[in-house]
Chain A
Amino acid sequence: MNGMVSNLPRIYRLPHGCFDAATHARWCALGDTELQVPILEAASVEAMWRELDAAATVWRAVPLEERIEILARALDALRLRGPGVWREALSRSAGLSAAGIDAAWDVTFAPHGIEAVRTALAREGLDAACLAGLEDAGRLPHRIVHVVAGNVLPPVLVTLLRGWLLGAAQWLRPAAREPLFAACLLAELAERVPNVAACTALLWWPHEDPAAMSVFGSADVVTVQGDDASVESLRAHVAALPHPPRFVGYGARWSGAVVSRAAQTPATAAALAQDVALFDQQGCLSPTIVFAEHGARLDEWCARLAGALADCEARMPRGAIDPVARAALRHWHEDVRVELALGEVEAIWEEATRWGVIRLARCGFHDTPLDRHVVVVPFAESGEIADALGVRLAKLQGLGVALDGWEESERLRLLAELRPTRVAAVGTLQSAPLAWAQDHHPPFASLLAPAPAAPAH
């Protein structure tokens, strides 16, 4: 890694003693003991914004349809090529195995073909004429700042892609947890589509760094992904700025699956295991709880799911995790064994702490430690699912479904009750298209300035 970091385009850090300890540790783990990311003085932030503005103005002049094609082609080329030289470093940065990075790379880029991008814009009524109108009305964001969480790769690409399609200048603050993917993406785009890379910059700062507010302060929109408390904390900081930008927060969410009795097949078990194994279950679209319709063959299906997770482990091993995280997994396994002794858990399938499947004795809720651990909850009536989840329902993100044998009306009733932001066949949950309204935020409209209120009569 030595030397690679300093050669990347427009990647900076703010002063004040450089990275926080976690980011520093990450970079050191990547083999770069001498951090070579140039410092951007706070006083230079506005000048950097102006450079990005100039590049964004040029990029915005490219017709929308052409922008879509340029971006989709570049992303498709990247998908086909795979992580390439970045594979090993990304694997360490993301905490995934090398095979895990290959799969993560593919699922990050795959959903953004030309048609999918067109569809995403069209769903919000955004065509060239509309964008021109928004521009004239001053509603298009020209400057966007993103703060990402680093638990999975896609949000880095998706947040930037939205901004590129709208023609904005963008800063992105990568996460300490996974600092490399954004840099890698920008470096690749600098070679393939330099005019896109030119309106984008990466910047690290410790979160308490007051200089970071100089970046937020002149943005039109700030998007923040993180745990709920972090998002709210940054929202408050941003709101206190003299000219507060719009704020779009994405908090902690979880995903699940619902599998009907008729759908409890080897194929759905394998597909679900794939959803679970991707990103080592760290994403908000990673299913953790599976509601499975009760039937005589439920345990057989659970065993197949366990077998499928074992297969995933063999061909796409879970990434290395630290001793404390492993201890937490062990603790969960042993607590579950107590529940087995008490009759609350019906069965456990496990391979050390590499993965685990537990089947509850009755419909209810059970926590999950992630890292490829799944709770299968039996239900007799679909109405039991919402009852079992209670207040947790408000944080539901995605729902993988395999509802063979159900009436469409029953399916619709369930979805209306659970209100996930994304519904997909099991095995495809993680391949979210650009049109996906994460946390119920419309992907593009949430970035636009609100329309002026109609004058009162």
Chain B
Amino acid sequence: MPANYPDAETRRLDAALLDWIDTVPAGFTSAGRTRAECYGLEQRAFDAMEQRFETLALDLFAYQFERVEVYGAYARALGRTPNSVRRAHDVPALPVEALRRTRVAGFPQAAACAQFHTSGTTGAPGVLHLDSLALYDLALSRGFAHHVIPDLDRMHILLLAPAWQETPHSSLAYMLERVRQRWGTAASDSYVRGGRLRWPELQRTLAHAVASDEPVCILGTAFALVEMLEACEQTGGSVCLPPGSRVFETGGMKGRRRELSRARLRHELEQHLGVPASHVVSEYGMTELASQYYTLSLRLALLGDANRAPAIADTTEWWSAPMWLHPRIMDAETGACRRAESPGDPGLLTHHDLGNRSSVAHVLCADLGAPRGASFELRGRCPRADLRGCGLVDEHRSAAN
């Protein structure tokens, strides 16, 4: 680790990444057949951007290989070093488990400016260490603007998540606070305090939005949205929000409330809030990443699709990625990664996120993905190995339900 941090190499890399991430597409603009079409790019322009991704990815690998101790050791165990890796998809994907077990950071502790913790329910949380929020904020704001507020400068934002001050190590709370600051009107506020939904206040705000015909943007975790829907039902508080209103959901249920499929959640949001399914944006992200995936339906509904015959008719379960985030699927037998849209079996998803300069850019998670059109769809979580002993399945368990 250089004595004077941030050293010239770090500054050079940051500048290159910031410059590039600031200019490339922050997400799809179309449900096209190829990624170039999805980004609305001519093939030549797309290829040039992909080439730049390759260069930056290899540059970043060399940087993180040297500076992130566990990553260097992991890559060496795979026999992959900056000298041997020639293509971005050969850059080793570090399992996110590593962030739970040790500090995964390419900078000295004293240079840290933020830590985000995963919400794992068992054992120590995974931690994303950051020495700068510049890349993180840029990736966050560009992706969010592209997918959730592509049509307005500011909106009345209703947050259904704990305030950033209450949960300073939550990447989600940080993201939502950034969004509120950047895109929220003065009336924007959080409606969760101490982990509880402030339903009466939220109900008044929703009623006021209807009366004033002001569209709102509700941002929340899936389980908070379910809590709101239950409150709507129990108090007769269903409303029909003004056109242009939208909902952003993230985070899954995590066993906190009754489980709702994404489709069912959309249906109930339409039923109780009058927000059409197309205006519900889902986010797929994780604490270990700086960047996020989003569904594209809202953007297409607001701005239209350049393709006359979209390759993906239903975009509600199909993930749009910014240009600097490459999803891949790891081959179970060889451990090699392929582009997520390449044909093949479902497998473990890896995310190559050039916004992750402070830790490790290419991570392997426990989510399963399968190719869909020019992107991917989620196929649930990889079953966790434990001391099962015999390979029993819970086929009888439904008898208890």
* A234→B391 contact, CB < 8 A: no
B364 within 8 Å of A by Cβ?
A: yes
CB contact between B392 and one of A20, A226, A342, A392 (< 8 Å): that residue = A226
For residues 125 through 158 of chain A, which have their beta carbon under 8 Å from a beta carbon of chain B? 147, 149-152
* A326→B332 contact, CB < 8 A: yes
* A151→B332 contact, CB < 8 A: no
Whether A327 contacts B368 in the complex (CB less than 8 A), given A177-B393, A353-B332, comes out as: yes
Stretch at the interface among A4-12, A73-81, A282-290, A449-457: A282-290
For residues 80 through 106 of chain B, which have their beta carbon under 8 Å from a beta carbon of chain A? 93-95, 97-98, 101-102
* B70→A233 contact, CB < 8 A: no
* B382→A367 contact, CB < 8 A: no
B394 within 8 Å of A by Cβ?
A: yes
CB contact between A392 and one of B345, B387, B398 (< 8 Å): that residue = B387
B263 within 8 Å of A by Cβ?
A: no
* B389→A149 contact, CB < 8 A: no
Interface centre among B101, B386, B389, by most A CB within 10 Å?
A: B389
Whether A328 contacts B383 in the complex (CB less than 8 A), given A226-B395, A335-B97, comes out as: yes
* A283→B390 contact, CB < 8 A: yes
- Type the 1/0 row for B344-381, where 1 means its CB is closer than 8 Å to any CB of A: 01111000000000000000101010000000000100
Task: Give the docked Cα–Cα distance between A306 and B386 (Å).
Answer: 21
Whether A237 contacts B368 in the complex (CB less than 8 A), given A252-B390, A367-B387, comes out as: no
A residues in contact with B387, CB < 8 Å: 254, 288, 365, 367-368, 392, 395
* B390→A253 contact, CB < 8 A: yes
Task: Give the docked Cα–Cα distance between A387 and B394 (Å).
Answer: 29
For the complex formed, measure the closest distance between the CB of B91 and the CB atoms of chain A, giving whole angstroms. Answer: 14
* A323→B346 contact, CB < 8 A: yes
CB contact between A229 and one of B384, B390, B394 (< 8 Å): that residue = B394
- Type the 1/0 row for A190-227, where 1 means its CB is closer than 8 Å to any CB of B: 00000000000000001110000000000000001111
B residues in contact with A149, CB < 8 Å: 390, 392-393
For the complex formed, measure the closest distance between the CB of A26 and the CB atoms of chain B, giving whole angstroms. Answer: 11
Task: Give the docked Cα–Cα distance between A116 and B95 (Å).
Answer: 50
For the complex formed, measure the closest distance between the CB of B126 and the CB atoms of chain A, giving whole angstroms. Answer: 12
A264 within 8 Å of B by Cβ?
A: no
B301 within 8 Å of A by Cβ?
A: no
CB contact between A255 and one of B94, B334, B389, B397 (< 8 Å): that residue = B389
* A327→B346 contact, CB < 8 A: yes
For the complex formed, measure the closest distance between the CB of A291 and the CB atoms of chain B, giving whole angstroms. Answer: 14
Stretch at the interface among B57-65, B71-79, B140-148, B228-236: B71-79
Task: Give the docked Cα–Cα distance between A20 and B395 (Å).
Answer: 9
Q: How many residues of B contact A (CB 8 A)?
A: 48
CB contact between B396 and one of A233, A255, A281 (< 8 Å): that residue = A233
Whether A338 contacts B335 in the complex (CB less than 8 A), given A226-B394, A227-B393, A253-B389, comes out as: no
Task: Give the docked Cα–Cα distance between A208 and B397 (Å).
Answer: 9
A residues in contact with B331, CB < 8 Å: 330
Task: Give the docked Cα–Cα distance between A365 and B97 (Å).
Answer: 17
Task: Give the docked Cα–Cα distance between A208 and B345 (Å).
Answer: 32
Task: Give the docked Cα–Cα distance between A236 and B74 (Å).
Answer: 48
A175 within 8 Å of B by Cβ?
A: yes
Task: Give the docked Cα–Cα distance between A199 and B93 (Å).
Answer: 58
A residues in contact with B152, CB < 8 Å: none
Q: How many interface contacts (CB-CB < 8 Å) are there between A and B?
A: 171
A residues in contact with B399, CB < 8 Å: 207-208, 230, 233-234, 237
Task: Give the docked Cα–Cα distance between A78 and B383 (Å).
Answer: 37
* A224→B396 contact, CB < 8 A: yes
- Type the 1/0 row for A274-303, where 1 means its CB is closer than 8 Å to any CB of B: 000000011110101000000000000000
Q: How many residues of A contact B (CB 8 A)?
A: 64
User: CB-nearest residue of chain A relative to B100?
Assistant: A338
For the complex formed, measure the closest distance between the CB of B217 and the CB atoms of chain A, giving whole angstroms. Answer: 36
* A342→B398 contact, CB < 8 A: no
Task: Give the docked Cα–Cα distance between A221 and B299 (Å).
Answer: 62
Whether A328 contacts B396 in the complex (CB less than 8 A), given A254-B390, A334-B364, A368-B387, comes out as: no
Whether A147 contacts B364 in the complex (CB less than 8 A), given A326-B333, A338-B74, A342-B101, comes out as: no
B4 within 8 Å of A by Cβ?
A: no
Task: Give the docked Cα–Cα distance between A24 and B111 (Å).
Answer: 58
* B391→A151 contact, CB < 8 A: yes
B3 within 8 Å of A by Cβ?
A: no
B187 within 8 Å of A by Cβ?
A: no
Interface centre among A236, A252, A332, A353, by most B CB within 10 Å?
A: A252
B residues in contact with A314, CB < 8 Å: none
* A333→B396 contact, CB < 8 A: no
User: CB-nearest residue of chain B relative to A375?
Assistant: B387
Interface centre among B331, B364, B393, by most A CB within 10 Å?
A: B393
B388 within 8 Å of A by Cβ?
A: yes
* B74→A337 contact, CB < 8 A: yes
CB contact between B385 and one of A20, A234, A332 (< 8 Å): that residue = A332
A160 within 8 Å of B by Cβ?
A: no
For the complex formed, measure the closest distance between the CB of A329 and the CB atoms of chain B, giving whole angstroms. Answer: 7
A residues in contact with B225, CB < 8 Å: none
For the complex formed, measure the closest distance between the CB of A257 and the CB atoms of chain B, giving whole angstroms. Answer: 13
Task: Give the docked Cα–Cα distance between A328 and B364 (Å).
Answer: 12
A residues in contact with B97, CB < 8 Å: 335, 338
B23 within 8 Å of A by Cβ?
A: no
* A282→B390 contact, CB < 8 A: yes
For the complex formed, measure the closest distance between the CB of B335 and the CB atoms of chain A, giving whole angstroms. Answer: 6
A369 within 8 Å of B by Cβ?
A: yes
User: CB-nearest residue of chain A relative to B383?
Assistant: A328
Task: Give the docked Cα–Cα distance between A240 and B35 (Å).
Answer: 58
CB contact between B391 and one of A281, A337, A395 (< 8 Å): that residue = A281
A residues in contact with B290, CB < 8 Å: none
B residues in contact with A395, CB < 8 Å: 387, 389
User: CB-nearest residue of chain A relative to B104?
Assistant: A338
Q: Please name the 7 residue pairs, one residue from A and one from B, whose CB atoms are nearest each other, closest first.
A: A254-B389, A341-B73, A230-B396, A326-B332, A282-B391, A233-B400, A284-B390
Enumerate 18 A-B pairs (CB-CB under 8 Å) in ascending A order.
Answer: A151-B390, A151-B392, A207-B396, A226-B392, A227-B394, A233-B396, A233-B397, A252-B390, A252-B392, A323-B332, A326-B345, A327-B368, A330-B330, A332-B385, A334-B93, A339-B101, A342-B98, A352-B334
